[in-house]
Amino acid sequence: MIADRYDERPEETVTMYGATGTTIRWLINKDNGARTFAMRRFEVQPGGEIPLHDHDADHEIYILSGEGIAFTEEQEITIKPDMFVYVPPNEAHGYRNTGDSPLIFLCVIPLLE
């Protein structure tokens, strides 16, 4: 069993094209033995966003703090703490912080290879 605080993991800037004010920490990954899925923690600063993008991996998300929107080409959903979001494979999606504090969420993805 491995346990640690989230801030013991390095914080990296999300450099995806168009992303602003967003960092990621990989909490649980192949490095600590995970086999089929990985847990990451995102922080999006006020006004920051991850723009629409898509990929094979589906997402399971849980909002820890802050407020924002999760959007697809057809939907825009207000997200708040204690909400979960499921993004199916290949559905274009993005997130934006519409509040005045960091939007923080967990995002679990399959380890595809």
Q: Which residues bind its own copies (CB under 8 A)?
A: 1-7, 27-28, 32-39, 58, 60, 62, 64, 70, 72, 75, 77, 79, 82-89, 91, 93, 106, 108, 110
Nearer to its own copies (CB atom), residue 15 or residue 68: 68
CB of 16 to its own copies, least distance (A): 18
Nearer to its own copies (CB atom), residue 14 or residue 39: 39
Rounded CA separation 52/94 (Å): 4
CA–CA distances in Å: residue 24 to residues 1, 16, 74, 95: 23, 11, 26, 14
CB of 46 to its own copies, least distance (A): 20
CB of 103 to its own copies, least distance (A): 14
Greatest Cα-to-Cα distance within the chain, rounded to the nearest angstrom? 41
Q: Which of 105, 25, 19, 108 minimizes the C-alpha distance to 66?
A: 105
Question: Residue 94 corresponds to which amino acid?
Answer: G
Nearer to its own copies (CB atom), residue 15 or residue 64: 64
